[in-house]
Amino acid sequence: MNKSMNRREFLAAAAAAGAALVAGPHYGAAAAPATTGRPNLLFIMSDQQSFDMLGCYGNDQIVTPNIDKAAAAGVRFTHCISNSPVCTPYRGLLMSSMHPLYTGAISNDFRMLASADATLGKGKYFGEVLRDAGYRMGYVGKWHLYGGDRVRPIPAGPYRLGFDGTFLSNNCTLLFDKERAYYWDEQGKKQLYGDWEPYGQARQAMKFLDQNDDRPFALFVAWHPPHNWGGENGYAAPEDLLKLYDPAKLKLRPSVEDTPQIRQMYQGHMAMCSSLDKAFGWIMDKLAEKGLAENTVVVYTSDHGDCLLSRGWRGHKGCPQDEACRVPLIIRYPGKLAPRASDLLVGALDLMPTLLGTMGLPVPETCQGRDLSPAIAEGRDDAVEELPLWLLAGNWRGVYTRRYTYAFTVEGARKGKTMPRNFELRNCLYDRQADPRELNNLFESPGHRDLRDRLHERTMDWMRRLGDGCLTYETIADTALEPAELAISRRGRLAQEGDGKLKGRPIDILKTTREQSSSQNRTVRERKVRS
């Protein structure tokens, strides 16, 4: 009773502070007949939003009514995993359904290879499949796949990966406030939004819908928040949304230290999530206004989570724990997918083939992820047993099963530049059934040694299938980056001064290097035998 009363009081306060936000969306009914034929795609993703930062995922203190309503009308996945939980690696997986060793999206600010250089034969990226199927293409927001210097536009051509239509991006920035938030227009000129960044991007998305309602379209909207940003306190948001959350009353994750600083982080993070919900509602209203809601596959997800200093982890992401790896995923497709909560295991690697399958489009043979659209349509939530986890730049690999999360540090990795803190958290084993908040690390438990060994072998099976030889990040970067880019990277200046260019496909370069090394070793041995 008290919990229910607190919830009502909270929502009442939220309504008073931001009536327009809490009022909810109007996209339940279309204002005009729905477009028939091939479905549209509206793919919306946030940056650094864990699965537990939406009301529809059980968070009873966060205000996200628009996304919650979409979840109630679609399929909400309880186990969506960012296989490689950092910005550029995730985006590379989304656009290719290929391990980073094939595309070059190894770490932040590495340049993803154009498809002609990254695939074999007929393989194509997500945007290219949609474009070549006749879709009008639109991309709004964060890109972070061009590599190197973040403050520059993405040139038209192969490095837009098939998004040859509307392309309004700021690549990668931490300027979200209305005084500084910007984007690059089609002429490569920097333009200020003059508003909170997600609101400006929502208006760009709505304009795209106004201009492209007469044939199938694919629109991707990539927000930066609730990523921690360059505000005074690290996390900030519009003042009206900050007022929705009293830091002193917030419930924190049990794995985090309770301090005023942490509470302020939670307040700002949640307020940013609410700002995305507000912008999401605008876009969904426009979709309904145009009569497109019934024939559009709507996706909401995030690239990875935010640890918010859980377990003292100061990298915010990039670790195997749920706060970093487990993200929201909602797919709404009226009349085709019955609304429900799904326990199906879905990875970022699977999104491209699954959405193409849902839309009735061909899946490129180069996709390493699975087309899960039949399992989703048929309600077969047990169709996937496990998902691979890895972070090349973090020097760890792992596996996520229905019950367990396991990860280990690769052989030869050392504490240093790529792993300065929390080294031990990359070695983990959690029983999420018994310990849903992952508070008890069983990695060193003698009673779980056999389980750990089994999960290790399953991890290695995945790495073999993906072509990942579990080399250290230093070995991969030293071998694959152009020499000048490697020098910039070692100085920690790639995001400011570099281009992020690779010599070619890392998996090919590494193979050639190993073969040359093996040949040289054989030659040395033969010389010793002859002498």
Question: With 0-12 CB in 10 A as exposed, 13-18 as middle and 19+ as buried, what is 182?
Answer: middle
Q: Of 355, 383, 411, which residue is a domain's last?
A: 383
Q: What is the pLDDT of residue 26?
A: 39
pTM: 0.91
Residue 397 pairs in a beta bridge with: 390, 408
Same domain, 157 and 274: yes
Any domain includes 474: no
Any domain includes 410: yes
| 407, 423 contact by CB (below 8 A) | no
Q: What is the pLDDT of residue 23?
A: 39
CATH, residue 202: 3.40.720.10
Any domain includes 248: yes
Mind giving me the DSSP string for 176-215? -STTT-EEE-TTS-EEE-SS-HHHHHHHHHHHHHHHS-SS
CA nearest 367: which of 87, 112, 93? 93
Looking at 119-259, list the stretches that DSSP marks H as alpha helix, in order from N- to C-terminal side. 126-132, 197-211, 239-242
Q: What is the pLDDT of residue 10?
A: 43
CA nearest 22: which of 31, 30, 12? 12
Q: What is the pLDDT of residue 421?
A: 61
Same domain, 489 and 378: no
Any domain includes 433: yes
Q: Of 432, 447, 469, which residue is a domain's last?
A: 469
Q: What is the pLDDT of residue 112?
A: 96
Cα Rg of the chain (Å, integer): 23
Same domain, 423 and 332: no
Same domain, 274 and 400: no
Q: What is the pLDDT of residue 417?
A: 53
Same domain, 36 and 102: yes
Same domain, 286 and 185: yes
pLDDT in tens, 482-511: 999 999 999 999 999 999 999 999 999 999
Q: Of 326, 353, 383, which residue is a domain's last?
A: 383
Same domain, 66 and 110: yes
Q: What is the pLDDT of residue 425?
A: 82
Same domain, 307 and 400: no
CATH, residue 427: 3.30.1120.10
Any domain includes 512: yes
Same domain, 501 and 428: no
Same domain, 299 and 322: yes
CA nearest 25: which of 64, 75, 54? 64
Any domain includes 73: yes
pLDDT in tens, 183-219: 999 999 999 999 999 999 999 999 999 999 999 999 9
Q: What is the pLDDT of residue 345?
A: 98
Helix (H) or strand (E) holding 354: helix 348-358
Same domain, 372 and 519: no
Same domain, 409 and 351: no
| 375, 337 contact by CB (below 8 A) | no
CA nearest 319: which of 48, 137, 505? 48
Q: Tally the domains of the chain.
A: 3
Residue at token pair 């019955």:
338
Q: What is the pLDDT of residue 523?
A: 44
| Rounded distance between C-alpha atoms, residue 344 and residue 437, angstroms | 20
Q: What is the pLDDT of residue 418?
A: 52
Any domain includes 200: yes
| Rounded distance between C-alpha atoms, residue 435 and residue 283, angstroms | 38
| Rounded distance between C-alpha atoms, residue 224 and residue 212, angstroms | 25
Q: SS3 for 400?
A: strand
Low-confidence stretches of the chain (pLDDT < 70) are 1-36, 120-122, 230-233, 414-423, 514-531
| 301, 261 contact by CB (below 8 A) | no
Q: Which domain holds residue 365?
A: 2-383
Any domain includes 394: yes
